[in-house]
Amino acid sequence: MPLQDKVKIALPPIKIATDQTVGVGDFGKVPRKDAYYTKPKILSSIDIQPYFKQDNFVLYHGDSIALLNQLAANSIDMVFADPPYLLSNGGFTVHAGRQVSVNKGAWDKSNGLKKDFEFHLEWIQAVRRVLKPSGTLWVSGTYHSIYQCGFALQVAGFHVLNDIAWFKPNASPNLSCRFFTASHETLVWARKDKKAKHIFNYDLMKNGTWSEDALKKPGLQMRSVWSMGTPKPIEKKFGKHPTQKPEDLLKRIVLASTNKGDLVLDPFTGSSTTGIASHLFGRKFIGIDLDKQFLDVSIKRFEELDRNLQNKFSKKI
């Protein structure tokens, strides 16, 4: 029986990209958003100007699936995606000791099981097309979304490498006292092609300094349970995103699965923690989001980091 019939969901046909890998090249440096510039090769197929572009850090305002479909196939080294959890249902949670609504915006409302799954499958297929054969995808989520995403990864032809449990020691308490307190999120790490050789910087993960993680023992293999707190106040100084990830988490992901000069993409970039980690470690970055408010926060975060890096470099000369 076909997989589609088993789950009684009408799935669109799966298209596997066969284009040859294209060169990435440097993005170069251009003025702030809305200025005239010459598009670098990797961005030449996109029909809108970036919302912001400086050095190798590029932000687009628009629909991620539409923009992914315009990018060249086999051109991206790694994608980190924190898709909508689709849990804005009128409920409540705790933040800073106060009861607050879980509603994050229209973008986070469920459209029902079938449409929610079709959305996840569509963006995952679009990501698979642009990834290089050896490229990998990280997907972050809670139980509201991660199982649909995991199934969509399998339907789309990804090869799952790991599932990571990100334990939050400082997670918010449970208000109802009717079930266990949610204190983790799940990350699924998957490779585009099963037979390809992906990047995994094993020695750095084993022997690096990971003082933020109480579970990581020096000199021992890094395991699949990571203990890290939620974003620090300084990470939200320019504004906060409702599902913002801590910089420590994205630093580890970027260092684990990319090399310097690689091209990283985040299709739901929010306030661009993925981009901040990528720029810090010398990776190129493309971020996409529908909300200009969070793209503006991304720009402020990038500009502060870039100033700090330039000051640090100038002091060494």
Residue pLDDT, tens place only, 22-52: 333 444 443 344 434 456 688 999 999 999 9
Tens of pLDDT along 112-141? 899 999 999 999 999 999 999 999 999 999
Structural domain includes residue 216? yes
Structure tokens at 307: 């100033």
Structural domain includes residue 48? yes
Structure tokens at 161: 């490498």
Q: How far is CA 88 from CA 37, 39, 128, 198, in A?
A: 39, 38, 28, 36
Structural domain includes residue 1? no
Tens of pLDDT along 250-305? 999 999 999 999 999 999 999 999 999 999 999 999 999 999 999 999 999 999 99
Residue 30 pLDDT: 39
Q: Which residues pair with 209 in a beta bridge?
A: none
Q: How far is CA 15 from CA 12, 67, 134, in A?
A: 9, 17, 18
The residue type of 89 is N
Structural domain includes residue 263? yes
Structural domain includes residue 19? no
Structure tokens at 44: 């030449």
Q: Which residues pair with 129 in a beta bridge?
A: none
Number of domains making up the chain: 1
Structural domain includes residue 247? yes
As to burial, measured by CB atoms within 10 angstroms (0-12 exposed, 13-18 middle, 19+ buried), residue 79 is buried
Q: What radius of gyration, in Å, describes the C-alpha atoms of the chain?
A: 19
The answer for residues whose C-beta is within 8 angstroms of residue 104's C-beta and 6 or more apart is 88, 242, 243
Structure tokens at 75: 């051109």
Structural domain includes residue 295? no
Res 100 pLDDT > 70:
no
Structural domain includes residue 308? no
Supply the CATH number for residue 249's domain: 3.40.50.150
The SS3 assignment for 40 reads: coil
**Domain span holding position 160:** 32-290
As to burial, measured by CB atoms within 10 angstroms (0-12 exposed, 13-18 middle, 19+ buried), residue 177 is exposed
145 DSSP assignment: T
